Amino acid sequence: MPFDKKPIIAPSILGANFSNLEKEINYCNDSEAQWIHLDIMDQQFVPNLSFGPAVVNSLRKHSDLFFDVHLMVSNPFDMLIPFIKAGANGISFHIEATESRFTFPPKILINTIKKNGLKCGLALKPKTPFSLIKKYLEFIDYIVVMSVEPGFGGQVFIDSTLSKIAEIDKHLKEKNIRDKILIQVDGGIKLTNYNKVISAGGDILVAGSEVFKSDNPSATINKMYND
């Protein structure tokens, strides 16, 4: 973790109660959370459908926190501008949806995100090697390491993710760019394992069900932040 900073806790709205998202996001506002994680799924790249720019725009009116939009979609380029206009502060997209299958190469998406003043992240599925994104490191702000198979909340953390995080952390340090790129870990983050994730090199912890299914979401967020 750069400069021994405290982790960024990014509660994932995917784990929230969708019948009252204003109340759910206020749990985050009332905590020490710095980011809100917004999983966008199109039922093509992953087997689930979540929500679109209109929901993000509605939530934007109720929070000043950093909105981290995670595009788990087969056509991320076409979704960039709608989510930028909806109020995203950062957008990550999957290398698997661009490097080998999509017309637009990753650099075009990165440039579009960055020229609009947003932070840019590249996401990796659990079985995707870190080596696939090394050539883009100088252009991005964070790496999203999926610690569950993307698509559904409430899954169990894949333990082999810890070695992947450590590999990325080591490489960034060797290249003297550790202070420029954050490592986000998304999936299965619990009070019982978040310290291991931080120790491996995780900077941004995405936690959904552990936060929003708890008796006191704000206190759960704060516990991860302060312990």
Distance, CA of 17 to CA of 159 (rounded, Å): 28
Angstrom CA distances, 58 to 30, 52, 99, 200, stand at 18, 10, 32, 36
Burial class (CB in 10 A: 0-12, 13-18, 19+), 47: exposed
Distance, CA of 186 to CA of 146 (rounded, Å): 5
User: Is 39 among the catalytic positions?
Assistant: yes
| Beta strand pairing call for 204-207 and 182-186 | parallel
| Residues 6+ positions from 217 with CB-CB distance below 8 Å | 11, 24, 27, 28, 31, 211
3-class SS of residue 103: coil
3-class SS of residue 26: helix
Marked catalytic residue, from 42, 68, 169, 186: 186
Distance, CA of 143 to CA of 136 (rounded, Å): 10
Marked catalytic residue, from 4, 39, 64, 227: 39
Active site residues per annotation: 39, 186
